[in-house]
Structure 1
Amino acid sequence: MENTTTNIALGTTLTDRGCHFRLHGPQLANLFLVLPEHPDEHETAPEMPRLMQKQPNGDWTCFISNVQAGAAYAFYTLNADNQKQWLIDPHAHHVLQRHDKIPYWTAQVTDHYFDWGQAQHPKIPSDQTILCEVHVKGFTALHPDIPPAIRGTYLALCHPVMLAYFKRHGITTLQLMPIATKADETHLQAKSLTNYWGYNPLAWSAPDARFACKHPVDECKTLIRTLHEHGIEVILDVVYNHTAEEGHGGPVFHFKVLDPQTYRHNQDGQLLNYTGCGNTVNLQHPPALAAVIQSLRSWVTHYQVDGFRFDLALTLGRDGELFDQHAAFFLAIQADPVLSQVKLIAEPWDIGPQGYQLGHFPDGWHECNDVFRDTWRSYWLHNTASAEIAPLLLGTQSLFPAVHWPSKMSVNYICYHDGFTLQDVVSYHQRHNQANLEQNRDGHPDNRSNNLGIEGPTRHPGIMKKREQHKRNLMTSLIFSFGIPHLLGADLRAHSQLGNNNAYCQDNPVSWVNWDSHTTTDQFAHWCVWLIQQRQATLPRFIQALTELPESMIIHWHVPNGSPMTASDWAERQPFACRIQIQDQDSLCYLFNPGNLPVYFQLQGSGWHCLIDTALQAPEIRKIRQSGCLVRGQSMMILHNNHR
């Protein structure tokens, strides 16, 4: 053992002579490092405890020579009664779950060498980004063309079958639901359920072994390298707002003992719960901020990820009780030469005071736009006025002005992992979460859904036809709105969760994407491919023009006879058109008919081609040869006119 300085990383730093260990524990009276000599054997007690050295700044450090990659390690401290409290390294890069052993969790020293070959960051421009959210296990667990031995793993997600699938669908960016090592909440363990989604982090920087065949670190890197080789970005959904230690009475893994100030407390010393998960990480506390920044940098430098989607990101920007777009976390990201260069997406809310801040994050941050989701669902499936959807079509510029594009844009979505899938949006009026064993009280009660006549699955041809048409309406509204479209990967396969809108604990076919081939499913998949192709071929030019030369763009809003819309027209849910023109170059025309009867729209000029008609099951481009066109009931059309 030798003395060390504290300029090494938190957790472990491997050298050719051995390994440095460093944890921040300012209130501890002692801290021991344990290196089990035979981590794969069923020893009854770990061996070789070593007392670490406390530094003036509250860090505990230790250097052990001859330690190599793969060595298991854990920590413990002795309390006033001389009882051991086992601790896991919160900064670990590889975590092992040791059933029937003490300690239950251990970390593993990691060598991050990896051959990245010629793979590079794809660097997809924001106006060309098509986000697709997937769960590493759930997206391939049932895929019949993936070898059974690797289904549900990192390696399955980059199998040639999946690469061809993503490329065919025009997916530029995969957004992976949490892959950091998680622990199951105590209330789920009591019900023999598991946190399938993974929003309960145990170690922020360790890829979860549940998605690996053998080696989670190397297999996770293989996934990202392979996707990069095929021009596909990877964004990680990360959870730095809370940890798996829950609230008072919850488990103790690390920070509760190492540094309780990592979490926010009230005046009585009780843990504040702005996350709904029992604790709230306090990024005003410099050691906590340093730990999060180190973790983010690890994902970018060691795994080459292209960006992050931050769960409950409002929590990270709290200064005291209030949100501050100049909070220490945002300033640290902005000043970091690595992190300031990647894509950043915020979920702009939590459950604390003033816990909704859509549009208020700093420049450089895109934001998940739930208003987009709710309003478009209400428009097509209920009775929302035209005035409500018009701003969303053009990028929600009241909150995301075009002058800030492309560095700050609305992330538009109809469905996310939490909530109904698209199939369920048009199949269920109420949530059906009984399988979660919470008496159907969990999950959001306001889904803006519509079963269109029958609750759940049906073979009624009329209802099935309506459901497919509204799926096309909603998907078109998403893909052809200005902003960054976010797709739920399960929606491309018309997957149903049987009405469960909070399937976080359903590690089974409720959540696993159904790859069975059906006529309607295949038709919708083909239609989505076409839709994304047409979007990528046309819309980026309009987004760029509105960003760079807004004065060159002319936007007309009119009723079917060509007259400008009046205040009364905007206040109703009536057929209307939006024509967007870039001087004498290109024009797009959106024709909306939410009513039941067909409506004839008068067009301005000639040379129009129909790119999208949601009334059709089979997509096609057709030329409009007359001075107008008929838009069938409960459908929309998108026309393009290339004046060049």
Structure 2
Amino acid sequence: MNIQHAFPYPLGATLTKNGCNFSVHHASPYPISLIIFDDNGNHTEHPFTEEYGTIKYTLIDDVTEHTVYGFKIIQDNEALLLLDPYAKALKNSPHYQVPYTAKQSWTLAQCVVVNNDFDWQESQRPMIPRSETILLETHVKGFTLLNSDVEESVRGTYLGLADPANIKHLKQQGITTVQLLPVAACMHEPHLLKMNMVNYWGYNPIAFMAPDPRYAKSDAVNELKTAIRELHKNNIEVILDVVYNHTAEGGNGGTTFNLKGLDQDYYLHHHGNYTNYTGCGNTLDITHQPSLNLVMDTLRYWVEHYHVDGFRFDLAATLGREYDQFNPNNAFFKAVAQDPTLQKVKLIAEPWDIGPNGYQVGEFPDGWNECSDKFRDTTKSFWRGEQNYLKSIATRIMGSRDLVSASRWPHKLPVNYVSYHDGFTLQDLVSYKERHNHANGEDNQDGHGDNRSDNYGVEGETTNPRIIALREKQKRNMITTLLFSFGIPHLLAADACSHTQKGNNNAYCQDSDISWVNWKLDKHADEFKVWLADIIQARQTHMVPMINAFSGSKRTKQKVNWYTPEGNNMTHGDWHRAEALCLHLNIYDGEKELLIMINQSNVPTRFELPKSQHYNRWALVCNTQYSTIESKHVIFDYSLSALSIAIFNAE
């Protein structure tokens, strides 16, 4: 006799041979039942027949993939439909008319049963070493929507990422890893809905496992998998930006989409109020076992069924919280470290949140690479011409070893960046002194006030050739510093096209041409795009061997020397008054030698080049004074233009 039985795990909707098992963690006082919709939108109600602790579960015969379902609770004498926290797909794009009502929930909270089968066509994960990784942060829609080379029907979608023209661009630029802004289904904040706007970036999750339907033509699950498969075929990794620090349900008085209706203790509480370490109204309590299970199950799901190559964790300090304290040895980090599925992928932390003791740069466990805001701030300040940053820029170039020892590289290499989704684009960093966020509807009060940017004489766009030339050189200065520093370089996709957001440094709600990458390049933007591809290739050729040699136990055999322009070793006084210096990196066996020459001053500076023990001359790799990369050989000295950086390789 073959009798089918219901089972408590895994949670969510799991297809079986003859039906579907539905399981949910439910610890609230609100009565719960299962709702199944037919093709006409009519529904039937089913009780959960089994219990296992706080798990309610049942098995329903004849349920197939694409079946629509939800969980009903009775709250305030109203029948409210809840999204399954383990929903793998949503029928509708999340949206509602403020205020949210029980009636609207019966459309918004419809989940779809998914069959996880997919033809991966024997594609393999690229497994790019950290030292060779070039991260490109991008938005699914904004990256391809205006690219006329991409097939029109797939622009702005998951399939647009897999379009041959998009993949060709990524490969030409030398990108190894695409980091997608959140693709898990997102709900827009009430104040945005009132203004007929959306949360464009997606940092307000409503379903952790369901890809957002906004970016699909018809089937978000299979279209996202197709994009990842095609990128993998071209040796390009995919990292997902994930948000586990809060949900879209807000704080006190907020809406109930799922977790609030299933278990109040999914959130941290202080005297009955939702804690707000995230600035979004609530904070997910990872010390609560069902919350920890949800996060861990979600991470494994993305890796096992979408073949993603890693994650970037938004406000990751929240995941290490034990109420007001951060603990790098807490249950979440231990669970990740022992998980055989997650041990194989890249883990990137935004190592802070807005709660007490929220700044935790350098404190994450081994295996976690941390975003370095200190690199960002130092690089921008230094090239803007601020004084007393010479020692700091040297520290950042050498991999911020004041925060993380090189003995823990490459698994603890910092993620260095100049521009990110939150903040100015690279083009705006050299075009605007002030933020211009009026389009966001918050009276220009939102967004970061400390941009460390400059306009070099004119706010915004200009036709002045002198200002344009200086701006282009400053872009090259910052990118060269980024690519020839020890760390994992993070680039913003819009920067390859010199995209401007018109001075908006917080375009989270701008589903418009403010955010959509402009692919119509003028002469200067086209030159920069070509130069960027060349300098990335130079980085892979010349800097990667240095990172590998200076990582782990091998680092003690390598040599680092800092010189004044006259060729003397830097003294304590030089670090406080000099405006130019030279870094000499030497792999101990003579395999590789590199010079990084920096001139922050406003006048050309002549450098005496150090002698190589193994080579006859130095070859110029890059000089940011020029918009093209041309090889030039020097022996004894070199004159470096004002406000420039040059890279040399020993030959």
Same fold, judged at TM 0.5 (above): yes
Structure 1 match to 2:384 = 381
Structure 2 match to 1:159 = 163
Structure 1 match to 2:289 = 286
CA gap 1:29/1:2 in 2 versus in 1, 3 angstroms: farther
Structure 1 match to 2:428 = 424
CA gap 1:502/1:543 in 2 versus in 1, 3 angstroms: same
Pair 1:74 & 2:70 matched: yes
Give the 3-state SS of the residue equivalent to 1:589 in structure 2. Answer: strand
Q: Name the aligned partner's letter for residue 554 of structure 2.
A: L
Structure 2 contact 160–166 (Cα < 8 Å) conserved: yes
Structure 2 match to 1:582 = 587
Structure 2 match to 1:332 = 335
Cα shift at 1:517? 2.4
Structure 2 match to 1:97 = 92
Pair 1:23 & 2:32 matched: no
Structure 2 match to 1:256 = 260
Could you tell me how far apart the structure 1 residues matched to 2:193 and 2:201 are?
A: 15
Pair 1:36 & 2:37 matched: yes
Give the 3-state SS of the residue equivalent to 1:231 in structure 2. Answer: coil
Could you tell me how far apart the structure 2 residues matched to 1:258 and 1:382 are?
A: 54
Pair 1:617 & 2:623 matched: no
Tell me which moved more, 18-27 or 195-204.
Answer: 18-27
Pair 1:538 & 2:542 matched: yes
Structure 1 contact 74–103 (Cα < 8 Å) conserved: no
What TM-score do you get using the length of structure 1 for normalisation?
0.96
Pair 1:594 & 2:590 matched: no
Structure 2 match to 1:4 = 6
Could you tell me how far apart the structure 2 residues matched to 1:282 and 1:238 are?
A: 16
Cα shift at 1:121? 0.7
Tell me which moved more, 200-209 or 378-387.
Answer: 378-387
Give the 3-state SS of the residue equivalent to 1:75 in structure 2. Answer: strand
Could you tell me how far apart the structure 2 residues matched to 1:308 and 1:609 are?
A: 38
Cα shift at 1:83? 2.0
What TM-score do you get using the length of structure 2 for normalisation?
0.95
CA gap 1:551/1:56 in 2 versus in 1, 3 angstroms: closer
Q: Name the aligned partner's letter for residue 628 of structure 2.
A: A
Could you tell me how far apart the structure 2 residues matched to 1:94 and 1:528 are?
A: 38
Cα root mean square deviation, aligned? 1.4
> Pick from 135, 149, 171: which aligns with 1:131?
135
Cα shift at 1:446? 0.2
Could you list the per-position Cα deviations for residues 386-420 of structure 1 after superposition, in whole angstroms to 9, with x for gaps in the alignment? 11111111111121211111111100000110000
Structure 1 match to 2:638 = 629
Pair 1:308 & 2:304 matched: no
Q: Name the aligned partner's letter for residue 570 of structure 1.
A: W
Could you list the per-position Cα deviations for residues 6-64 of structure 1 after superposition, in whole angstroms to 9, with x for gaps in the alignment? 2x2111111121111111112235211111112xx4x5xx4211122362411111111
Pair 1:57 & 2:53 matched: yes
Could you tell me how far apart the structure 2 residues matched to 1:133 and 1:402 are?
A: 25
Tell me which moved more, 414-423 or 571-580.
Answer: 571-580
Could you list the per-position Cα deviations for residues 487-511 of structure 1 after superposition, in whole angstroms to 9, with x for gaps in the alignment? 0111111000000000000001000
> Pick from 537, 546, 549: which aligns with 2:554?
549
Could you tell me how far apart the structure 1 residues matched to 2:54 and 2:585 are?
A: 61
Cα shift at 1:552? 2.2
Could you list the per-position Cα deviations for residues 295-330 of structure 1 after superposition, in whole angstroms to 9, with x for gaps in the alignment? 000000000000000000000010121000011110
Could you list the per-position Cα deviations for residues 130-180 of structure 1 after superposition, in whole angstroms to 9, with x for gaps in the alignment? 000010000001001112211100111111101111111110000000000
Tell me which moved more, 11-20 or 566-575.
Answer: 566-575
Pair 1:476 & 2:485 matched: no
Could you tell me how far apart the structure 1 residues matched to 2:555 and 2:300 are?
A: 36
Structure 1 contact 11–92 (Cα < 8 Å) conserved: yes
Structure 1 contact 381–449 (Cα < 8 Å) conserved: yes
Structure 2 contact 30–261 (Cα < 8 Å) conserved: no
Give the 3-state SS of the residue equivalent to 2:210 in structure 1. Answer: strand
> Pick from 266, 275, 279: which aligns with 2:278?
275
Could you list the per-position Cα deviations for residues 188-231 of structure 1 after superposition, in whole angstroms to 9, with x for gaps in the alignment? 10111100000000100011111111111000000000000010
Q: Name the aligned partner's letter for residue 637 of structure 1.
A: A
Q: Name the aligned partner's letter for residue 87 of structure 2.
A: A
Structure 1 match to 2:412 = 408
Give the 3-state SS of the residue equivalent to 1:55 in structure 2. Answer: strand
Structure 2 contact 13–20 (Cα < 8 Å) conserved: yes
Could you tell me how far apart the structure 2 residues matched to 1:223 and 1:340 are?
A: 23
1:432-447 to structure 2, matched below 5 A, reads 432-447=436-451
Could you tell me how far apart the structure 1 residues matched to 2:253 and 2:543 are?
A: 52
Could you tell me how far apart the structure 1 residues matched to 2:109 and 2:258 are?
A: 11
Q: Name the aligned partner's letter for residue 371 of structure 1.
A: K
Pair 1:234 & 2:238 matched: yes
Structure 2 match to 1:354 = 357
Structure 2 match to 1:342 = 345
Cα shift at 1:608? 0.2
Could you tell me how far apart the structure 1 residues matched to 2:247 and 2:307 are?
A: 24
Structure 1 match to 2:565 = 560
Cα shift at 1:2? 7.7
Structure 2 match to 1:317 = 320
Give the 3-state SS of the residue equivalent to 2:73 in structure 1. Answer: strand
Q: Name the aligned partner's letter for residue 86 of structure 2.
A: H
Structure 2 match to 1:509 = 513
Give the 3-state SS of the residue equivalent to 2:507 in structure 1. Answer: coil
Cα shift at 1:70? 0.2
Give the 3-state SS of the residue equivalent to 1:618 in structure 2. Answer: coil
Could you tell me how far apart the structure 2 residues matched to 1:373 and 1:407 are?
A: 20
Could you tell me how far apart the structure 1 residues matched to 2:573 and 2:617 are?
A: 31
Tell me which moved more, 51-60 or 436-445.
Answer: 51-60
Identity percentage of aligned residues: 44
Structure 1 match to 2:180 = 176
Cα shift at 1:104? 2.5
CA gap 1:573/1:506 in 2 versus in 1, 3 angstroms: farther
Structure 1 contact 176–234 (Cα < 8 Å) conserved: yes
User: Which consecutive aligned stretches of 4+ in structure 1 deviate over 4 angstroms post-superposition?
Assistant: 98-101
Structure 1 contact 598–632 (Cα < 8 Å) conserved: yes
Q: Name the aligned partner's letter for residue 114 of structure 2.
A: T
Tell me which moved more, 540-549 or 554-563.
Answer: 540-549
Structure 1 contact 27–58 (Cα < 8 Å) conserved: no
Structure 2 match to 1:202 = 206
Cα shift at 1:639? 0.5
Give the 3-state SS of the residue equivalent to 1:84 in structure 2. Answer: strand
Give the 3-state SS of the residue equivalent to 1:95 in structure 2. Answer: coil
Structure 1 contact 2–64 (Cα < 8 Å) conserved: no
Give the 3-state SS of the residue equivalent to 2:328 in structure 1. Answer: coil
Structure 2 match to 1:13 = 14
Could you tell me how far apart the structure 1 residues matched to 2:4 and 2:448 are?
A: 55
Q: Name the aligned partner's letter for residue 86 of structure 1.
A: L
Could you tell me how far apart the structure 2 residues matched to 1:97 and 1:220 are?
A: 16
Q: How many residues align?
A: 633
Cα shift at 1:82? 3.7
Question: Tell me, which stretches of 5 or more residues in structure 1 are unaligned?
Answer: none
Cα shift at 1:117? 1.1
Could you tell me how far apart the structure 1 residues matched to 2:556 and 2:26 are?
A: 57
Q: Name the aligned partner's letter for residue 135 of structure 2.
A: L
Cα shift at 1:3? 5.9
Tell me which moved more, 470-479 or 148-157.
Answer: 148-157
Could you list the per-position Cα deviations for residues 351-402 of structure 1 after superposition, in whole angstroms to 9, with x for gaps in the alignment? 0010100000000000000000000000001314211111111111121211
Question: Tell me, which stretches of 5 or more residues in structure 2 are unaligned?
Answer: 97-103
